[in-house]
Structure 1
């Protein structure tokens, strides 16, 4: 069947039947792209309707046809709930095809014609199912190469299956060694598959063809870096698009190829994480994190020699304030005490009461309880590899500095330990992510690096931490920390205090002590973010953060600079980079630190 004989009439206008293709009666052309065709046909042998997927061009040699059939048959053996089972693979006059049972459902094109504006959660569910099947196929060494709106089959129960795997195969010269080029072609085609899935998500959410093109391959050719077009989800959509979903969709089609999802599995994780959070069933990354907490703890201890932390060590004779000061230098131990004490309060019926003072926590559980808490911690660096351990050490040093700054900035009369722990808890999601999901943390950091400037955009903005977390996890880091704090049984008032002030929200004067503590800790954390900027932007970043909170907290630049650099009296003095605190460097035991304190 020469390509010139394929009708161009839209499917809706096709008479029945049109013409024959072997034993098949061609009833409607469902899709015609640059690489493939999809027909609705009647199988005269079995008396049932099928969907026939075939390449747009006939294989150019007997060897090419043999290779096509071999790859299609290998793809048929890849079985997954989201990959449509193949009805038949064959060829008619050297035109190969893959047939699927029409009873599997309708194409996405047909669903969108019938239901023009699905809800964002439904759209994400369809695409997530597609990505699950596609990821499985990619991991088995296969690619699709021509994902279109007709590549998705949706049944009455919204179950999605992918059709057309290995139909649009790479076109090589007739005399090529197919075994030598297939592996490279599959790897490159798999990344293009993921990009096309991102375009599908954009198409469904926006309610209109991307760049006014129905063939997604034409869209890919127009996009940067090949072409000049940018594809971002617009603001005029049939339904409001939640920020996390918008960030995921925009990352999938980012103008910078390095910023996009390269693996279907990564794309699926972000989309599924948002779906689980949106459905409020505590799924996605939150469930994975809580599971890891059971096996690896929240953080590894940065203090060695805990086995010597016994009643015979003489610590029981020390003042509670000195002991709590040492405990606060170990983040893991501080959090473990908070978790144990507040969980005990919850179990004993003290609902809503929260202990955020290490001295009181030690008094409640005693030295034996402190010993048990210390023994429950994983030694540094836990399961982390050296590079990831170093990244966690640097993050912990930065958080420690934020706690010190918050204590310096707190209004008179507020407990320093409480301010310290609130500032620490505002970073809980970031710390847990770096410890339990270091690869995801690295992805988020990479997405926050500004893209390379172009003539059209000489100063491209960097992706915010929140948007980057949405794009990788499907939820923000505050949500991770809040889920763990809730799991530990911390009270509602604390749950509010550990939420950082939104960067795009105005800072209003505090109405309560809880507001004052939350804003003080938020300011300290924003100051640390400013110090992490490139050198030329640090001072402006510090000044901007100070202006945001100045009226609400009654602070000026002099107090902020003094907190950042204790002992400095000149407000114009440059802010120093955060120093590496002792808490971040594993080494001395609590007993040794007490001894050193006594000798100083």
Structure 2
């Protein structure tokens, strides 16, 4: 009883607090948070009591399977830590705990991409592309130094307050080999293969950022790779429901990076970076990126190499009689480089003399204005064929020029009555300016564009696969389309706004409406001729259907039928591969635009 009374009168005693959960440790490190877990690696946020600071610890998911394997892992990690680049995070420490190796980084470098995406709204496409471009810079440098990452995840990017991106985890997820292999031999081969997988994972990372959700509902990008073709059956393409509208060039770049056909993807981090940077700069600044690079090349080596020799024999003499100017005009039109140089010079002269609203696209008038000395100077300013091109690239340029010349001939044959033949030819040529310049100045990129346009091999799932459109392929390689490059150069040469409108081809996915102005007529005539030549380049079974489809598109707008088109395609007496002399325009009352283009007052 007393015992009971004592209990009632005694002060209340609180229940003992539950025992604190024991700290998880890894050697001397206190494990505070798991930042990332994939099939190949782990990333922890830890506290280092020895140095009194937080670190990020990257380690493989599997322990090296032998003492030799551990020694090789440490040696490769040490070599990777010596690769220094602004976009590669500096290594704080490399070590091991009970044969579990790790690489430590200073937490002060920033937060992981996972943490950034969880903390703030989805970034705008330009910012997302900037982050990935920085990652690609560091990754390309590491690949070129003989190292690979092998486990790029959203936690592999560390972003600081100034949006500087660094890559962590280089050489952490190494290949697992049998204990008795020659590590040096197998590693060299494995790095090449792993580098391509790294680039694919960067493409998945870009998809993840732009879409605002995990790819294929998987957080582990390695798991996504295993589900993608050709290993699995899944296709990864950027969807249309995204936090922000995605510009077409960026969409094309992202989709090429994860294309179901491995041959269509970026195989080098540098190629991926170049396309992404081209779009970023063009999107951030007027005429940036590949346009700036192209204009720089124009200054140094010119637009195209000349195919004409002995020009002095044709310019001998003092007069410029009509017959002489006509003969020179024929000669000039056979040389695309000289034709473009005269267009550039005569219109630049007009602009300097205060006639900025005028544009001349008639060679006879251009030669009369510049004189024989001006013609000779233009010819001397051009590099001889094939300029700096190697034989294979030179042959490709010759083929592109032949196709452009054919399009010009067709445009002349199909032009409505009353339009100057040389003007029509030159507008059709200018509609191909970007293609010509890319083939000359960026032959490797031009080859990539052609490969992306070709349809991939058919499969059971895709019996009739389609290649990329030329525009999408150019976006994926250069970050800009070919028409934009050509228009930028035309603007740089001082050509007027009306001409800039005419040198834009009719989009393939847009309907063709009847022309309202002379400018519309000229643009559509050139576009039609160019589409016909594109159709002639198709496999034989698709050639005539392609010609008929192009004819149906333009028939009503230009008043042309299949009979006129077939006659233009098969002129009979005309020698193939030559530029015919411009036939005289039928007598008509010329419009002001026609007068300006032909140089008539």
Structure 1 length-normalised TM:
0.91
1:594 is matched with which residue? none
Deviation at 1:406, TM superposition (A): 0.3
**Distance in 1 of aligned mates of 2:380 and 2:323:** 20
Aligned to 2:136: 131
Question: Partner of 2:123 in structure 1?
Answer: 118
Tell me by how many angstroms 1:313 deviates. 9.2
C-alpha distance 256-16 of structure 1, shift in aligned 2 (>3 A): farther
Q: Distance in 1 between matches of 2:166 and 2:22?
A: 27
The residue aligned with 1:219 is: 224
Distance in 2, Cα, partners of 1:71 & 1:316 = 77
Structure 1 residue 238 displacement after superposition: 1.3
In 1, are the aligned partners of 2:24 and 2:30 still within 8 Å (CA)? yes
Residue 442 in structure 1 maps to residue 447 in structure 2: yes
User: How much has 1:278 moved relative to structure 2?
Assistant: 1.2
Alpha-carbon distance, 1:463 to partner: 1.2
Q: CA deviation at 1:551?
A: 0.8
Q: Name which of 358, 368, 371 aligns with 1:366.
A: 371
Q: Which residue of 1 aligns with 2:11?
A: none
Q: CA deviation at 1:342?
A: 1.3
**Does the aligned pair in 1 maintain the 2:235–2:259 contact within 8 Å?**
yes
What SS is found at the alignment partner of 2:532?
helix
**Residue among 469, 473, 478 paired with 2:474:** 469
* Residue in structure 2 matched with residue 505 of structure 1 by the alignment: 510
Gaps of 5+ in 1: 1-14, 569-575, 584-600
Aligned length: 561
Partners of 1:442 and 1:196 lie apart in 2 by 24
2: CA distance between counterparts of 1:25 and 1:155?
Answer: 23
Report the counterpart of residue 237 of structure 1 in structure 2: 242
Moved more, 362-371 or 321-330: 321-330
Match of 1:277 in 2: 282
After TM superposition, list the pairs within 5 Å mapping 1:174-323 onto structure 2: 174-306=179-311, 308=313, 310-312=315-317, 318-323=323-328
Over 3 Å counting, the alpha-carbon distance change for 1:516 and 1:16 in structure 2 is farther
Kindly tell me: are residues 360 and 582 of structure 1, through their superposed partners in 2, closer, same or farther at Cα, counting changes over 3 Å? closer
Q: Give the direction of change, closer, same or farther, for the CA distance of 1:514–1:317 in structure 2 (3 Å limit).
A: closer
Distance 1:546 1:18, change over 3 A: farther
Deviations 1:353-387 (A, max 9, x none): 21111111111111000000000001011111111
| Regions of 4+ moved over 4 Å | 307-310, 312-318
Instruction: Tell me the distance in 1 between the aligned counterparts of 2:319 and 2:384.
Output: 23
What residue number does 2:566 align with? Answer: 561
The corresponding residue for 2:47 is 42
Does the Cα contact within 8 Å between 1:277 and 1:475 map onto a contact in 2? yes
Q: 1:166 aligns with which of 171, 194, 203?
A: 171
- TM-aligned CA deviation for residue 288 of structure 1: 1.2
Name 1:82's counterpart in structure 2: 87
* Counterpart for residue 416 of structure 1: 421
2:347 to 342, 345, 355: 342
**1:36·1:54 contact (CA, 8 Å) conserved in 2?**
yes
The aligned counterpart of 2:386 is: 381
Q: Which residue of 1 aligns with 2:330?
A: 325
Deviation at 1:17, TM superposition (A): 8.3
Out of 553, 577, 580, the position equivalent to 1:580 is: 577
Shift of 1:317: 7.9
Q: Tell me, in whole angstroms, the C-alpha distance in 2 between the residues paired with 1:308 and 1:523.
A: 37
Q: Is the 8 A contact 1:307 1:375 kept in 2?
A: no
Q: 1:243 to 1:561 in 2, by over 3 A?
A: same
| 2:436 paired with 1:401 | no
Q: Is the 8 A contact 2:333 2:579 kept in 1?
A: no
- In the TM superposition, residue 430 of structure 1 has moved relative to its aligned partner by 0.4
Whole-angstrom CA distance in 2 between matches of 1:66 and 1:309: 76
| 1:590 counterpart residue number | none
- Kindly tell me: are residues 229 and 579 of structure 1, through their superposed partners in 2, closer, same or farther at Cα, counting changes over 3 Å? farther
CA-CA distance at 1:509 after TM superposition: 0.8
Alpha-carbon distance in structure 1 between the residues aligned to 2:187 and 2:544? 53
Distance 1:17 1:228 in 2: 45
Q: What is aligned with 2:98?
A: 93
Contact 1:394/1:580 (8 A) holds in 2: no
Contact persistence 1:273–1:285 (CA under 8 A): yes
After superposition, what is the alpha-carbon deviation per residue over 1:274-306, rounded to whole angstroms, capped at 9, x for unaligned?
111111342221111111111111000011223
Q: Give the distance between the partners of 1:546 and 1:170, measured in 2 at CA.
A: 57
For 1:132-160, what per-residue CA distance to the aligned partner results, in whole angstroms no more than 9, with x for missing partners?
A: 11001101110000000000011111111
Instruction: Please give the per-residue CA displacement for 1:507-548, whole angstroms capped at 9, x wherever unaligned.
Output: 111111000000000000000000000001111101110110
Distance in 1 between residues matched to 2:25 and 2:369, nearest whole Å: 84
> Which residue does 1:545 correspond to in 2?
550
1:431 Cα offset (Å): 0.4
Please point out which of 25, 32, 42 is paired with 2:30.
25
Q: 1:307 offset after TM fit, Å?
A: 5.2
Change (3 A) 1:16 1:287: farther
In structure 2, runs of 5+ residues without a counterpart are 1-19, 581-601
- Give the counterpart of 2:63 among 53, 58, 64: 58
- CA contact under 8 A between 2:458 and 2:465: conserved in structure 1? yes
Match of 1:390 in 2: 395
What is the alpha-carbon distance in structure 1 between the residues aligned to residue 425 and residue 77 of structure 2? 61
TM-superposition CA deviations, 1:381-423 (whole Å, max 9, x none): 1111111111111111111010011011111111111111100
Cα drift, residue 349 of structure 1: 2.6
Residues 241-265 of structure 1: per-residue CA shift (max 9 Å, x gap): 1111111111111111111000000
Secondary structure of the residue aligned to 1:98 is strand
1:564 Cα offset (Å): 1.0
Shift in Å at residue 237 of structure 1? 1.2
Q: CA deviation at 1:308?
A: 4.5
Offset of residue 352 of structure 1: 2.7
Deviations 1:405-457 (A, max 9, x none): 10111111111111111000000000001111111111111111111112222
User: C-alpha distance in 1, partners of 2:378/2:214?
Assistant: 58
2:154 alignment partner, SS class:
coil
Larger Cα Rg: Structure 1 or Structure 2? 2
